[in-house]
Amino acid sequence: MLTRFWRDSRATVAVEMAFLLPILLFLLMIAVDASLAIRTRKEVEDASYAGAIYAVFKGYNVSAMTSAAQSATSRAKVTVQVNPFCSQGVGVSTLSSGVCDPNADYSLFESTAGKPATYVQVVCTGSYNPFLANFWKLLGAADDGNHWTFTATSTARIS
C-alpha cells in the first residue's frame, strides 16, 4: 500500500503550486510597488515641466506657475518652488522680482551675449509611500524605509 502511495503523482501539481504561489505573489507585489513609485517620479517630473512651460508661454507668475505644476499631477503631496534668476555667460544672479534689472551691474558675468537673460527654475518634490516598506528598507532602496522622495527641476528662459 505504501508503494502505491509513493508512486501516485496526482497531487504533485498542487504541492508545487503551494510552494511557488507565495513567491510569485511576492514578486508581483514588488513589481506593482516599484511601478507605482516610477509613476510618482514621472508625475513629479511632469509637474515641474508644466510649471516651466507656463512661464514660457504666459510669463512669470509664481502662484499661476505653482497652480499649473500642481494641477499637472494627481498627487496631492507635490510641493513646488519657483526660483527666478539672471544669467549671462557663466554667471548667475538670483532675483526677487522675476525680471533682470537692465541697469544692474552684471560685471561678474562674461559678456558673451550682451544683456542678461531671465530664467525661471521650477523645483517639484513629491513622495511615495511603498506598501512593502520593510522589504525596500532591507534593500536600502527607500529614504528611511517609509517613503521615497522624488525631486525634479525644470529651467526655462523667459526673457
**pLDDT tens per residue across span 83-123:** 887 765 545 555 555 556 555 555 554 444 556 677 888 99
Q: What is the mean pLDDT of residues 35-40?
A: 89
Domain parsing of the chain, residue ranges: 12-157
Chain centroid, CA 114 distance in Å = 36
How many CA atoms, within 13 angstroms, populate the side-chain half-sphere of residue 106?
A: 26
Most confident of the following: 9-13, 21-25, 145-149? 21-25
